[in-house]
Amino acid sequence: MATSRNAQKYSVLASSTLAFTVCFMVWMMFGVIGIPIKKMLDLNATEFGLLTATPVLTGSLSRIFLGAWTDKYGGRIVLFLIMLTCVIPIWMIGYATQYWQFLVLGLFVGLAGGSFSVGTPYVARWFEVKQRGMAMGIFGAGNSGAAVNKFVAPAIIAAFGWTAVPHVYAGVMLVMAILFWFFSYSDESHLVGKSVTLREQLVVLKDPRVWKYCQYYSIVFGGYVALSLWMVQYYVGEYGFNMKTAALLAACFSLPGGVLRAVGGFLSDKFGAHNVTWWVLWVSWVCLFLLSYPQTDFTIKTVDGFTTFHLGLNVYLFTALMFVMGVAWAFGKASVFKYIGDEFSHNIGAVSGVVGLAGGLGGFVLPIMFGALQDITGVRTSCFMLMYGIVWVSLTWNYLTEVRRIDVMKTADQLSQATA
């Protein structure tokens, strides 16, 4: 019986991770096919931005409800229904001809992004507490579906045109939904009970820990999504690279930020969510401090006259810092959900939905703020200045609620031992 249960949990992990990878690939679809659609409809930059952001918004807003439903009805049926629901809207995108049609269909396709808040609690409950960080990290690595989309969609467009992409993706989603159903399992003991209302599940919003984890996740996931969208044009504008080279360099941040999430889960299991998160925040603080400094020329008067110096990051140092921060945020995404798995095991779906919503909205709002800051200040590194400030808030919050509390507890223990 123990062996059967062991086989089931790993089958759940594998099938859920593959399903999430496909869902994330579909969620990011407009990032590629939006380019020929923009040309076809003669969209301006604002209209194009709204087109690509619509699925992200829906996928973020739906997470809180999908996570709560996972607690109540089970991750297997909820994730299966999400995939089936998305198949027809994905297919219909290939026949859309007007802007509003793409937006409406994009809202439905965006539900695929909500799969994260379903799969996370579904997978976590199959594993013991000491293994949950690794399990959720492996599942979360499915956001590498964004990279899969960048490889697959252009190849399909080159061979058959952009309208073939949604048709292929719809077929892949349908096949994946069927495979997921046959290779996943249900466990009634994982449910909170059908008598529990959504209002009762969302009472966790009164817990200040939930808001703290929302703040953390808005950095490590929201910031990851935002900078992944922002970096290609940053390399083009700041260093003068062409689009192909800029995309390759930007991948030095986005790839480790997705793939290494499983490693972060392992480290969180071994060293604890607090220790990993604390170091992730400090590494982020150092990297963002250095990244925030704009290219600067300054002139000083010397005994021999005036001398001009240049201060700024060259492309090699910049890319190295982005790589380090991408690795740190991969670990941080896993450690945040390790917190949730350890502290909210009974209603992990509702909490992961709330935290996932915060992260997704961060990924939606931050690029807009990056653009506004650049327009106002004329400084490209203002995006890193903003993220630096957000990390400062998280570091302070972490210190006041965790580090200081741990120090106080250690001091109390030492005093009690000395008294004894």
pLDDT in tens, 104-156: 999 999 899 888 888 888 888 888 877 777 787 788 878 778 777 777 887 88
pLDDT of res. 288 = 95
pLDDT of res. 215 = 85
pLDDT of res. 267 = 86
DSSP string, 2-15: HHHHHHHHHHHHHH
pLDDT over 60 (residue 3):
no
In a domain, 418, yes or no: no
Spatial CB neighbours of 288, under 8 Å, sequence gap ≥ 6: 325, 384, 387, 388, 391
In a domain, 192, yes or no: no
* Domain end among 185, 217, 251: 185
pLDDT of res. 22 = 94
Spatial CB neighbours of 353, under 8 Å, sequence gap ≥ 6: 63, 64, 65, 66, 67, 68, 70, 117
**Claim to verify: residue 241 and residue 129 sit in the same structural domain:** no
Flag whether the pTM goes above 0.85: no
pLDDT over 90 (residue 96):
yes
**Claim to verify: residue 213 and residue 254 sit in the same structural domain:** yes
**Claim to verify: residue 148 and residue 226 sit in the same structural domain:** no
pLDDT over 70 (residue 40):
yes
Q: Sign of dihedral through CA atoms 169, 122, 183, 141?
A: positive
Number of domains in the chain: 2
**Claim to verify: residue 360 and residue 268 sit in the same structural domain:** yes
Taking residues 335-364, report their average pLDDT: 78
**Claim to verify: residue 179 and residue 236 sit in the same structural domain:** no
In a domain, 194, yes or no: no
CATH classification at residue 103: 1.20.1250.20
**Claim to verify: residue 177 and residue 232 sit in the same structural domain:** no
In a domain, 333, yes or no: yes
* Domain end among 150, 185, 220: 185
In a domain, 122, yes or no: yes
Q: Sign of dihedral through CA atoms 185, 189, 192, 195?
A: positive
Q: What is the mean pLDDT of the chain?
A: 82
**Claim to verify: residue 158 and residue 217 sit in the same structural domain:** no
pLDDT 10s digits, 235-285: 878 888 876 677 778 778 877 877 787 788 788 888 888 889 889 999 999
Token pair recorded at residue 327:
């690795």
Per-state percent for the chain, helix, strand, coil, to nearest 5: 85, 5, 15
Q: Quick one: pLDDT band at residue 1, thresholds 50, 70, 90?
A: very low
* Domain end among 185, 213, 241: 185
pLDDT 10s digits, 390-415: 999 888 888 887 766 655 555 555 55
**Claim to verify: residue 279 and residue 390 sit in the same structural domain:** yes
In a domain, 73, yes or no: yes
In a domain, 16, yes or no: yes
Q: Quick one: pLDDT band at residue 47, thresholds 50, 70, 90?
A: confident
pLDDT 10s digits, 296-345: 888 888 888 888 888 888 899 999 999 999 999 989 988 887 888 777 76
- 54: domain range? 1-185
Residue among 258, 255, 215, 264 nearest 362 (CA): 215
**Claim to verify: residue 368 and residue 224 sit in the same structural domain:** yes
In a domain, 272, yes or no: yes
Residue 192 has phi, psi (to 5 degrees) of: -85, -10
Rounded percentage of the chain residues whose pLDDT exceeds 70: 88
pLDDT of res. 196 = 61
Axis crossing angle, helix 261-271 with helix 243-259, rounded to the nearest 10: 30
pLDDT 10s digits, 195-247: 666 566 567 677 778 888 888 888 888 888 778 767 776 887 888 887 667 77
CA distance 221 to 391: 13
CA distance 322 to 134: 24
Q: Higher-confidence residue: 50 or 302?
A: 302
If you average pLDDT over each of 48-52, 89-93, 273-277, which comes out highest?
89-93
**Claim to verify: residue 340 and residue 398 sit in the same structural domain:** yes
**Claim to verify: residue 269 and residue 145 sit in the same structural domain:** no
**Claim to verify: residue 156 and residue 211 sit in the same structural domain:** no
